[in-house]
Amino acid sequence: MLETRLLSSLAKIFPDEISGESLPQTLAMRNEPLSFQIAYRSSRLDRKDLPFYIQIESDLDLKNLASYKEGYVPVVHAATLEPDDYYDRTRPGLYPDLP
């Protein structure tokens, strides 16, 4: 099974959890950048890299579109010994980061 969600570009996506509210729609004014992310996760554990293709149909010139793939970094110490409420997570694991 493949789970996909359209989210704000500010949402943090962890490998074990897609959190945040899905975007039903989004708008941008003329000449204003619009950013969003598509999070996906597969229940197939035997695949390290799942091929995922996106087709974009737009009246915009392709030079105005950009896409990025986010990766993960291992974090051993995710919080201080006495964490406050501002941490997304406090346990070790994989955290989102650009490759």
Q: In DSSP terms, which residues pair with 73 in a beta bridge?
A: 95
- For the record, the structure tokens of 13 come out as 């996506």
- Please give the pLDDT value at position 76: 92
Tens of pLDDT, residue by residue over 40-85, are 877 766 666 667 777 877 787 778 888 888 888 999 988 888 888 8
User: Beta-carbon neighbour count of residue 31 at 10 Å?
Assistant: 5
Q: What's the whole-number mean pLDDT along residues 85-99? A: 83
- Please give the pLDDT value at position 2: 77
- Please give the pLDDT value at position 24: 87
Which one has a higher pLDDT value, 2 or 24?
Answer: 24
Predicted TM-score (pTM) of the model is 0.70
- Among 34-38, 46-50, 92-96, the minimum mean pLDDT is found in 46-50
User: Beta-carbon neighbour count of residue 9 at 10 Å?
Assistant: 11
